[in-house]
Amino acid sequence: MARVGLNTERLTAAGAELADEVGFDKVTVSALARRFGVKDASLYSHVKNSQDLKTRIALLALEELADRAAAALAGRAGKDALTAFANAYRDYAHEHPGRYAAAQLDLDPETARASAAVRHSQMTRAILRGYRLAEPDETDAVRLLGSTFHGYVALERSGGFQHTPRTAEDSWTRILDALDALLRAWPAA
């Protein structure tokens, strides 16, 4: 009996690809087994269960996304950093819709704390350093940016922007302009 050479890592990677192809919610243990030409029971030596598989894909996506964002930030500051970071985020969502969806999976608090999710908020804070906001304004701004980026991508992906001639691309650019302006003139409490 020829062995395919499965292991946890390969399963996670293949699961991520599958997610991009058919959607994260359609990533199942059996679909993944089918892709490897293997019985589904065979996967349970490598992943604990379906939830475990999905969590691993989510963590992979968070890592990849953080890596991209970090690369985008390197050597930039101010609006330049803001734009590069935001685009890294949005581009990843476009290129890897399934992985992006995976990154939104609700992780249990412990897993989340050990994940690349922390790098994400650290990087957002790094961008804001250029705008010199004092606490708690910086925290509020972190949340505003996170919300807006995530929300925009979510609405865009669900087709919410298709009813007007204005392209999602153009609005995005202008919204980044607007956020930059807002951060430079953050209103006093």
Partner DNA sequence: TACATTTGCCTAGGACGCCTAGGTAATTTA
Partner DNA sequence: TAAATTACCTAGGCGTCCTAGGCAAATGTA
Give the residue with the Cβ less far from DNA, 56 or 90.
Answer: 56
* Helix residue ranges per DSSP H, the chain: 8-22, 29-36, 50-73, 78-95, 97-103, 109-113, 117-129, 137-157, 168-184
We find the least distance from the C-beta atom of residue 40 to a copy of itself, in angstroms, to be 21
5 binds, among a copy of itself, DNA, none (CB under 5 to 8 A by kind): DNA
Q: Is 163 helix (H, G, I), strand (E, B) or coil?
A: coil
- 57: nearest Cα among 17, 26, 109, 4: 17
Cβ-contact 20, 96 below 8 angstroms: yes
We find the least distance from the C-beta atom of residue 32 to DNA, in angstroms, to be 8
Q: Which token pair is 87?
A: 């685009």
Give the residue with the Cβ less far from a copy of itself, 45 or 162.
Answer: 162
We find the least distance from the C-beta atom of residue 172 to a copy of itself, in angstroms, to be 8
38 binds, among a copy of itself, DNA, none (CB under 5 to 8 A by kind): DNA
61 binds, among a copy of itself, DNA, none (CB under 5 to 8 A by kind): none
We find the least distance from the C-beta atom of residue 143 to a copy of itself, in angstroms, to be 5
Amino acid occupying residue 88: A
- 14: nearest Cα among 27, 25, 26, 3: 27
Angle between helices 137-157 and 117-129 (to 10 degrees): 120
Residues that bind a copy of itself (CB under 8 A): 104, 106, 109, 112-113, 117, 121, 135-137, 139-141, 143-144, 146-152, 154-155, 158-164, 166, 168, 170-171, 174-175, 177-178, 181-182, 185-187, 189
